[in-house]
Structure 1
């Protein structure tokens, strides 16, 4: 974005997400100023740029949320759509270096570029840049990646930093022999909080929905919708409380048996339960 005239003898621009000014006259002409001059603080152009900066922040957050949803749900994404959004810096930042899978599920790679025609340029595990143009691609949830550890090592060698947490996302594998007829997990139950409000606030800050007495996350997996839910206490209760059991429900609200929970729903539910438990009160001292 270029520099815009504002007031007498100044220009303004967004630099690093904040409004910055430079002088156009005198010995300091063209020099970027460390602080915004008092004469510009209430200028209409400055206010307009500030509002634009807030919109850009919201847009970037929305892009990250949408890509995260594609990944968590392993939704097929049309390559034509990727071509359309790639020129947008916010979309490109969210998508760059994510693991994508085309027509061959055994050939994952890191997304590096998308051409206007919809051709993807991907770095495979051999370190080679390959081109592919399938109708759709998947951004797989890490629990579904058979080469996850190899991908993590490869990404570390390249210095890859993903904006959407994928290959370094904490994962939990479904147990080989779940409790027969079992419908809940209590591994992360018992995390104490001073109030139900504090527990609900932590859930919301982590991006989870609070509904009734539970913190929930929704996962679309293999054509079905599953909701993981951790009990956090009745809404009207505001004394000390603690995290409860984790359960999974189907689209009709029926509680699922543990053996019927899919791998992504299991991993995301456990991730939520662990994150809520991690915010518990930690007592200090020899008896903690």
Structure 2
């Protein structure tokens, strides 16, 4: 976006997400000003640019959230769609350097570009830049990537930075020796907070939903929706509170036994429980 007239002697524009003014006359003509002059602050163009900046911030947040949902769910995404949204910088910020997987295990790499024809340019694990044009790709959840450690090392070597936490996402592998009838995990139970309000606030600040006495997150996996839940205390309890057990259920409310929980739902549930436990009140001398 170019510079817009904002009254006699000034122009305004969005510069790095902030409304900025510059003088159009005198010795300072063309020089950007550190602050908006008093006479410019109330100009309609300034108000319009501020609203645009707010919309752009919301749009960027929504794009990253959408890419995150594709990744957590490992949903197939049409390559044509990636090509159409790629010119948008907000979408690029969420998609660039994400690990994508095409039709087979050999079609995998870090996404670097996408064009309108549905062709993707990726850097494969051998460091080669290749072009892929499958009908759809997935952005796999990291717990599903067999060579996750190698991908992390390779990304570090290339200096790649992901806008959506994928390969550096904390993951938990589901144990193979779970008791057949076990239905909950207590690894992160007992994390004490000064109040239930503080525990609920941490949950919401991390993006989790608080419903009744639980912090929850929903995971779409293999065509089904699983909800992971951690007990955080009665809604109107004002005293000290602590994290409870972690359990999983399907959307109709049926509780799942631990062997029934999918690998992504297991990892995301443990990630939520660990994050809530990490915010506990730590007594002096207690290991964190």
Q: Does 1:27 align with 2:27?
A: yes
Equivalent residue for 2:105?
105
Corresponding residue of 1:173: 173
Runs of 4+ in 1 over 3 A off after TM superposition: 285-288
| RMSD after superposition | 1.3
1:155 to partner: Cα distance: 0.5
The question of 1:190 aligning with 2:198 is answered no
Matched residue SS, 1:60: helix
Q: Compared with structure 1, are the counterparts of its residues 185 and 287 closer, same or farther at alpha carbon in structure 2 (3 Å cutoff)?
A: closer
Corresponding residue of 2:212: 212
Distance 1:127 1:285, change over 3 A: closer
What SS does structure 2 have at the residue aligned with 1:20? strand
SS in 1 for 2:184: coil
Which residue in 1 is equivalent to 2:150? 150
Give the superposition deviation at 1:224: 1.1
Instruction: Provide the rounded CA distance (Å) in 1 between the counterparts of 2:229 and 2:121.
Output: 39
Q: Which residue of 1 aligns with 2:228?
A: 228
Alignment match, 2:139: 139
The aligned residue for residue 72 of structure 1 is 72
**2:84 maps to 1:84:** yes
DSSP 3-state at the match of 1:270: helix
Per mean C-alpha deviation after superposition, the further-off stretch among 33-42 and 255-264 is 33-42
- In the TM superposition, residue 228 of structure 1 has moved relative to its aligned partner by 0.3
Q: Any residues of structure 2 matched to 1:241-252 within 5 Å, and which?
A: 241-252=241-252
Does 162-171 or 124-133 show the bigger shift?
124-133
Deviations 1:6-38 (A, max 9, x none): 011111111111101111111111111111111
Q: CA deviation at 1:44?
A: 1.3
Q: Which blocks of at least 5 consecutive residues in structure 2 are unaligned? A: none
Q: In structure 1, what is the Cα distance between the partners aligned to 2:71 and 2:28?
A: 49
Instruction: For 1:106 and 1:133, locate their aligned partners in 2 and report how far apart those are by CA, in whole Å.
Output: 13
TM-score, normalisation: structure 1: 0.97
Give the Cα–Cα distance (whole angstroms) in 1 for the partners of residues 43 and 25 of structure 2.
Answer: 19
Give deviations 1:83-141, integer Å, cap 9, x for gaps: 11111110111100000000112432000000111110001011111111111000000
Task: Determine the C-alpha separation between the residues in 2 that align with 1:139 and 1:227.
Answer: 21
Matched, 1:61 2:43: no
Distance 1:286 1:189 in 2: 16
- Structure 1: any 5+ residue segments left out of the alignment? none
| Alpha-carbon distance between aligned partners in 2 of 1:20 and 1:208, rounded to the nearest angstrom | 36
**For the residues of structure 2 that align with 1:213 and 1:286, how far apart are their CA atoms?**
27
Partner SS for 2:225: strand
List aligned pairs for 1:115-134, cutoff 5 A: 115-134=115-134
Counterpart position of 2:14 = 14
Cα 1:286–1:268 shift into 2, 3 Å: closer
- Deviation at residue 287 of structure 1 after TM alignment: 10
